[in-house]
């Protein structure tokens, strides 16, 4: 029934197809299109799109298509990893607050309100600026900044999920089947994981899809501002940052990575809307 309701939404189905094609391209593309992402050749700098270089070359003569395919792995990995962190924190805080209530609920919700009041982008910029060098020195230039960005983005985007899960727990735990499980002696862990959480997982799934798009946009913004991945790591945001001085002379340097971000985030958002409608019993 869920699949039948989802595929009737043609926009959501098309978005899922586009997202599947993009994911397949960034995963398998570097194995098929084997152009180097790091080889420098100034003799072919800023070449326009051609058969040899379908997306052109950048100011260092590096192939743009190869860099977009490789950078898509990093951008999508950041989005998925940050989403998992945000969902885990949000579900944990929301479940504890909604199930136990009382002072524990009040404290967790006040903590949520504090995080909601923080300016996310300036705080992320400050954390990466302060701890970026230490992360690079400890774990390497690429892995260190990857983990730092994922932790910052995920740690600043769990609040909406926590409120959503808490509201669902407050509603579901008063239902008859939950009260019957309590009367039969079910422990709190079983009540949370087997009876209540499965009934609120639908909205959480929708929130997870939207969180991926938000994380990709945030990572692209950080890279565009020069505080993301190092210059030799071709994320989509970093490619936009490197191409900002060539908007007039070589607009394709901005067009293709920007289009990749646009299509990915738009497809994820439409997919989330389609899942929300398919999971909502009122839309039957």
Residue 263 lies in a domain: yes
Domains held by the chain: number = 1
> Is residue 57 in some structural domain?
no
Virtual torsion, Cα 269, 21, 230, 119, nearest 10 deg = 0
- In this prediction, residues 247-272 reach a mean pLDDT of 87
Report the range out of 38-47, 88-97, 190-199 with the highest average pLDDT: 88-97
pLDDT-based confidence at residue 122 (cuts at 50, 70, 90): confident
Report yes or no on 32 lying in a domain.
Answer: no
Q: Is residue 276 assigned to a domain?
A: yes
The CATH number of the domain holding residue 270 is 1.10.3720.10
Percent of the chain beyond pLDDT 90? 9
pTM exceeds 0.85, yes or no = no
Whole-number Å distance between alpha carbons of 54 and 110: 52
In a domain, 221, yes or no: yes
Does 41 map to a domain?
no
Residue 47 in any domain: the answer is: no
Domain assignment present for residue 272? The answer is yes
Q: What is the extent of the structural domain holding 224? A: 9-23+63-283
pLDDT at 280 over 70: no
Answer whether 48's CB lies under 8 Å from 216's CB: no
Of 199, 272, 256, the closest CA to residue 64 belongs to 256
> What Å distances lie between residue 284 and 10, 26, 113, CA to CA?
16, 36, 35
- How confident is the model over 127-147, as pLDDT tens digits? 888 888 888 888 877 788 888
| Alpha-carbon torsion, ordered 25, 229, 145, 218, to 10 deg | -70
């Amino acid at each position: 029934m869920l699949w039948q309701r989802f595929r009737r939404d043609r926009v959501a189905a098309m978005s899922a197809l586009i997202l599947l094609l993009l994911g397949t391209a960034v995963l398998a593309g570097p194995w098929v299109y084997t152009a180097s992402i790091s080889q420098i050749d100034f003799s072919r700098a800023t070449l326009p799109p051609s058969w040899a270089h379908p997306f052109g070359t950048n100011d260092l003569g590096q192939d743009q298509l190869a860099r977009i395919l490789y950078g898509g792995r990093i951008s999508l990995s950041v989005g998925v990893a940050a989403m998992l962190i945000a969902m885990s924190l949000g579900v944990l805080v929301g479940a504890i607050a909604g199930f136990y209530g009382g002072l524990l609920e009040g404290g967790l919700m006040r903590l949520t309100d504090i995080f909601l009041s923080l300016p996310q982008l300036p705080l992320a910029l400050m954390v990466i600026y302060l701890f970026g060098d230490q992360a690079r020195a400890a774990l390497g230039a690429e892995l260190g900044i990857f983990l730092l960005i994922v932790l910052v983005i995920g740690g600043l985007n769990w609040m909406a999920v926590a409120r959503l899960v808490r509201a669902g727990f407050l509603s579901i735990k008063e239902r008859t089947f939950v009260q019957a499980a309590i009367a039969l002696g079910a422990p709190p862990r079983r009540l949370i994981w087997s009876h209540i959480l499965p009934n609120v997982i639908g909205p959480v799934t929708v929130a997870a899809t939207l969180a991926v798009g938000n994380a990709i946009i945030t990572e692209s913004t950080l890279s565009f501002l020069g505080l993301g991945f190092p210059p030799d790591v071709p994320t989509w945001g970093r490619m936009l940052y490197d191409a900002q001085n060539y908007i007039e002379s070589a607009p394709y340097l901005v067009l293709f990575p920007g289009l990749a971000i646009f299509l990915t985030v738009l497809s994820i958002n439409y997919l989330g809307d389609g899942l929300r409608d398919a999971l909502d019993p009122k839309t039957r």
